[in-house]
Structure 1
Amino acid sequence: MTSKKQLLPEQAEELIKILKKRFEKNMERHVGIEWEKVQEKLEASPEKLWSLYEMEATGGEPDVVEYIQEINEYIFCDCSVESPTGRRSVCYDHEALEKRKKNKPENSAMNMAKEMGIELLTEDQYRDLQKLGEFDLKTSSWVKTPESIRKLGGAIFCDRRYDTVFMYHNGADSYYAARGFRGLLRV
Structure 2
Amino acid sequence: MVVKNKELSQEQQEELLQILKERFEKNMHRHESLVWAKVQEKLEANPEKLWSLNQMEETGGEPDVVNFDEDMNEYIFFDCSPESPKGRRSVCYDREALESRKKHKPENSAIDMATDMGIELLTEEQYRELQKLGKFDTKTSSWVQTPSDIRKLGGSLFCDYRFGHVFLYHNGADSYYGARGFRGALRV
The verdict on a shared fold, with TM-score over 0.5 as the criterion, is yes
Q: Name the counterpart of 2:56.
A: 55
Task: Note the residue ranges of structure 2 that are not aligned, 5 or more in a row.
Answer: none
CA deviations 1:57-111 (Å, max 9, x no partner) are 0000000000011221000000000000000000000000000010000000000
CA–CA distance in structure 1, aligned partners of residues 90 and 40 of structure 2: 33
Residue 177 (structure 2) pairs with residue 176 (structure 1): yes
CA–CA distance in structure 2, aligned partners of residues 91 and 44 of structure 1: 34
CA deviations 1:98-143 (Å, max 9, x no partner) are 0001000000000000000000000000000000000000000000
| Partner amino acid, structure 1, of 2:104 | N
Residue 104 (structure 2) pairs with residue 91 (structure 1): no
> Following superposition of structure 1 onto structure 2, how do residues 1-150 of structure 1 map, counting pairs within 5 Å?
4-150=5-151
CA–CA distance in structure 1, aligned partners of residues 70 and 97 of structure 2: 38
CA–CA distance in structure 2, aligned partners of residues 162 and 37 of structure 1: 38
Q: Could you tell me the percent identity over the aligned residues?
A: 72
Question: Is the partner of 1:137 in helix, strand or coil?
Answer: coil
Shift of 1:31: 1.1
CA–CA distance in structure 2, aligned partners of residues 55 and 13 of structure 1: 16
Shift of 1:166: 0.1
TM-score, normalised to structure 1, is 0.98
Shift of 1:10: 0.2
CA–CA distance in structure 1, aligned partners of residues 72 and 140 of structure 2: 34
* Ranges of 4+ aligned residues in structure 1 off by more than 4 Å: none
RMSD: 0.6
TM-score, normalised to structure 2, is 0.98
For this pair of structures, how many residues does the alignment match?
Answer: 185
Task: Note the residue ranges of structure 1 that are not aligned, 5 or more in a row.
Answer: none
| Partner amino acid, structure 1, of 2:147 | P
